[in-house]
A and B are shown apart, each in its own frame.
Chain A
Amino acid sequence: MDLAQLFQLGASGLAVGGVYALAGLSVALVYRAARLFHLLVGEGLALGGLAMAVAGAWERGILLALLSGLAVGGVLVLLARWLRGREVAEVIVAFLGLSLALKNAFILLFGPASRPAPSPWPGVWVVGEVAVNRTYLVVLGVVALLVVFTFYLLERTWIGRRLEAVAEDPVAARVLGLPASLLQGLALLLAGVLGGMAGALLAPLYYASPTLGYLLLLKAVTAAIVGGLLSPLGAVVGGFALGLAESFGGFFASAYRDALVFGLMLLLLVFFPKGVVRERTQTRV
């Protein structure tokens, strides 16, 4: 592998990994706030991507994806209330059923066809032997902004500190007079928005389609689990690690890329069963 190949594989791995990171962060936030596996993350991604494609212009697309993310977040809020205290099997069936219904609704609304989506900075950036899609740079920039915003909200604000208390022990948080339902709702709305934005960022690279999310559900959940389901930082690390592993794994063994990447993730889980990044709440006494 020469330097040019290293740079190009790194750029594509980071851009796609950034999208996985956002999707993984969405999964981790939902789990942290409501102890639910966010199996609708794929549909959130697909809707965000379709919003970008339908909008026709990037700025409008981002706005539409934001709104679609809020809508998915709203559905998560309703689901969290409805499924509170239910058996795991019931929760999984509810999520899978809704996922299937949404996928078919998207096909009815938008048709089965893949659609190209606009890029804010089309074209290729060429330096010597290296050519990099400029959209990668935009994706990385937006991912960085969203991740910083999310962590600022979680770590440095009143909302974040109380959300952590709710995540740790919702009953105790209610007893202490914290608005647990409101905080939980905010976290779920944020998770929906992150999923929608991930789809909007991916659509210019992968095309938008109602089945886009199906491809990415496994990746998002893997990123979150490998990183540590209770750890937003872990989900981000997991997402980037997955993107880079796919990119470089494909270069060394293209036919076995998925087997190689998911084998590696499995190995990580053997050594780090609670995820590679430990969350503070897990270690506190």
Chain B
Amino acid sequence: MLRVTPFFVALLLGLALGQGKICVLADLTGTGAQDGDLFRKGAELALKEVGLPYAILDSQSSPQGAVTAASRALNQERCTALVGPSRSTTMRAVIPLLKEANRAVAFTQATSVLLTQEGRGYVFRLAASDAVSSKAFAQVAEELGAKRLAIIYSNDAFGRGLYELFRGETRAEIVAAEAYTSGSRDYTAQLLKARGAELLVIFGTFSEDAAALARQYRDLGLRVPVLANKVFITSVTQQLAGSQLDGFYVIADFYEGANPQAIRFGRNFRMAYGLAPDPNSSGAYDGVKVYAEALRRAGKPDLEEVRKALLGLKNYPITSGLLAFREDGEGIFEVSLLRFQGATARFVKQVRVR
């Protein structure tokens, strides 16, 4: 007797939805390979649930790699949705291709405000943008009573962009603003500048750098409280830094216990891979699920119809909160504030930007 598995049902459902095809652009090689592997796993978990045809391509942690992968996705694979690339620099590089092909939408958790400005109508963001995050950082810094801030940021488009936005939002005095090059791994000089500040704000891009920053912060015996961005709660950072993260505040758009969708995703992800979920895996998971929902509502993978369906999503629950797209493709306006106790991040509260 034929056993009807959930996967079989999902596959039939997928076939019934037409020729919509998802291309996942993950950093499977290069400096972001560890995060990229989690991104791929998150996407695969969702793909099993929705049963749509798909291809997974390597964006190689670089804009050039992302352009090659996107070109293949749009021209050879004929995909109607891209999930990823996951970083602002790589996502930004593929926007011209999306416009030229004019057949697919792209989902990202990359946070640069430029992505939805330049990719309006094509790029849909499933996480808080830098504009939202910078406001949240300023709010939380004020709530923590910090009047003198030191800032350390990665010297790339993401880190510098977030720093510039935050500088415009905060009313506290900035006593030091220090950049670092990703991969340089020795951050003693930058961290020593934090002495005398009441709060150290860190905007990092890569997990290995975040872990090294946490370890060297301990090595230098610093006591200034730390408020850091979501790269500090990735699985890689937590695995490498462990309890050296104790006491760090983190602002993130994903936390496993923040809402029912995140809890369910976290449970399924752990069951499937034996790993803790993180913003990389959750972002990819959400991208696939949101496209599948939009395709279901649109009825066909036509770009205009899918766009309309996406803009019709109101308070649609995803792992990073309740999604409601504006015309510009921005969909999330809240973040989670977490604090590490030992090596474990605990939920403090949800921060809605004012």
Q: Which residues of A contact B (CB under 8 A)?
A: 5, 8-9, 12, 16, 107, 112-114, 116, 124, 126, 131-133, 205-207, 209, 211, 215, 246-251, 254-255, 257-258
* Contact indicator B179/A209 (Cβ below 8 Å): no
Add 15 more A-B contacts to A207-B212, A209-B208 (CB < 8 A).
Answer: A5-B195, A8-B220, A9-B188, A9-B189, A114-B211, A124-B218, A131-B219, A207-B240, A247-B186, A247-B189, A249-B189, A254-B179, A255-B155, A257-B184, A258-B184
* Contact indicator B179/A8 (Cβ below 8 Å): no
Contact A254/B190 with A113-B236, A207-B208, A215-B183 known, Cβ cut-off 8 Å: yes
A249 CA to B186 CA, complexed, in Å = 12
Cβ-closest chain B residue relative to A5:
B192
A218 to chain B, nearest CB (A): 11
Q: Point out the residues of chain B lying under 8 angstroms from A205, CB to CB.
A: 185-186
* Contact indicator B221/A9 (Cβ below 8 Å): no
* Contact indicator A126/B34 (Cβ below 8 Å): no
A132 to chain B, nearest CB (A): 8
* Contact indicator B221/A124 (Cβ below 8 Å): yes
* Contact indicator B34/A114 (Cβ below 8 Å): yes
Q: Point out the residues of chain A lying under 8 angstroms from B186, CB to CB.
A: 12, 16, 205-206, 246-247, 250
* Contact indicator A258/B181 (Cβ below 8 Å): yes
* Contact indicator A251/B193 (Cβ below 8 Å): yes
Contact A254/B183 with A12-B188, A207-B208 known, Cβ cut-off 8 Å: no
A244 to chain B, nearest CB (A): 11
A-B contact pairs, 12 of them (CB 8 A): A5-B192, A9-B188, A9-B192, A112-B33, A112-B37, A114-B240, A206-B186, A246-B186, A250-B187, A254-B180, A254-B189, A254-B190
Q: Point out the residues of chain A lying under 8 angstroms from B185, CB to CB.
A: 205-207, 215
**Any A CB within 8 A of the CB of B350:** no
Contact A206/B212 with A211-B31, A257-B181 known, Cβ cut-off 8 Å: yes
A100 to chain B, nearest CB (A): 12
**Any A CB within 8 A of the CB of B246:** no
A124 CA to B219 CA, complexed, in Å = 6
Q: Point out the residues of chain B lying under 8 angstroms from A250, CB to CB.
A: 180, 186-190
A249 CA to B218 CA, complexed, in Å = 22
A107 CA to B212 CA, complexed, in Å = 21
* Contact indicator A251/B192 (Cβ below 8 Å): yes
Q: Give residues 20-68 of B contacting A (CB, 8 Å).
A: 29, 31, 33-34, 37
A5 CA to B181 CA, complexed, in Å = 21
* Contact indicator B37/A131 (Cβ below 8 Å): no
Q: How large is the interface on B (under 10, 10 to 19, 20 to 34, 35 or more residues)?
A: 20 to 34
A242 CA to B240 CA, complexed, in Å = 27
**Any A CB within 8 A of the CB of B328:** no
**Any A CB within 8 A of the CB of B178:** yes
Cβ-closest chain A residue relative to B31:
A211
A254 CA to B236 CA, complexed, in Å = 25
* Contact indicator B192/A8 (Cβ below 8 Å): yes
A107 CA to B34 CA, complexed, in Å = 11
Contact A247/B34 with A114-B208, A206-B212, A207-B212 known, Cβ cut-off 8 Å: no
* Contact indicator B220/A131 (Cβ below 8 Å): yes
Q: Point out the residues of chain A lying under 8 angstroms from B34, CB to CB.
A: 112-114
B246 to chain A, nearest CB (A): 15
A211 CA to B34 CA, complexed, in Å = 12
Q: Point out the residues of chain A lying under 8 angstroms from B208, CB to CB.
A: 114, 207, 209
* Contact indicator B188/A247 (Cβ below 8 Å): yes
Partner of B189 from A206, A207, A251 at Cβ < 8 Å: A251
A248 CA to B272 CA, complexed, in Å = 47
Q: Point out the residues of chain A lying under 8 angstroms from B184, CB to CB.
A: 215, 246, 257-258
Cβ-closest chain A residue relative to B220:
A131
Q: Give residues 121-177 of B contacting A (CB, 8 Å).
A: 155
A254 CA to B177 CA, complexed, in Å = 9
Chain B window 188-224, contacts with chain A (Cβ cutoff 8 Å), 1 for yes, 0 for no: 1110110100000000000010011000101111000
Contact A133/B181 with A12-B186, A207-B211 known, Cβ cut-off 8 Å: no
Contact A254/B212 with A114-B34, A133-B219 known, Cβ cut-off 8 Å: no
Q: Point out the residues of chain A lying under 8 angstroms from B216, CB to CB.
A: 133
A211 CA to B183 CA, complexed, in Å = 10
Cβ-closest chain B residue relative to A133:
B219
Q: Point out the residues of chain B lying under 8 angstroms from A5, CB to CB.
A: 192, 195
Q: Point out the residues of chain B lying under 8 angstroms from A211, CB to CB.
A: 31
B195 to chain A, nearest CB (A): 8
A111 to chain B, nearest CB (A): 9
Chain B window 64-92, contacts with chain A (Cβ cutoff 8 Å), 1 for yes, 0 for no: 00000000000000000000000000000
A209 CA to B31 CA, complexed, in Å = 10
Q: Point out the residues of chain A lying under 8 angstroms from B179, CB to CB.
A: 254-255
Q: Point out the residues of chain A lying under 8 angstroms from B240, CB to CB.
A: 114, 116, 207
* Contact indicator A248/B189 (Cβ below 8 Å): yes
Q: Point out the residues of chain B lying under 8 angstroms from A9, CB to CB.
A: 188-189, 192
Question: Of residues A5, A114, A209, A248, which shows the largest number of chain B Cβ atoms within 10 Å of its Cβ?
Answer: A114
Question: Of residues A12, A16, A209, A248, which shows the largest number of chain B Cβ atoms within 10 Å of its Cβ?
Answer: A12
Q: Point out the residues of chain A lying under 8 angstroms from B220, CB to CB.
A: 8, 124, 131
A48 to chain B, nearest CB (A): 16
Cβ-closest chain A residue relative to B32:
A112
B78 to chain A, nearest CB (A): 30
Q: Point out the residues of chain B lying under 8 angstroms from A258, CB to CB.
A: 181, 184
A206 CA to B190 CA, complexed, in Å = 16
Partner of B221 from A112, A126, A249, A255 at Cβ < 8 Å: A126
* Contact indicator A8/B212 (Cβ below 8 Å): no
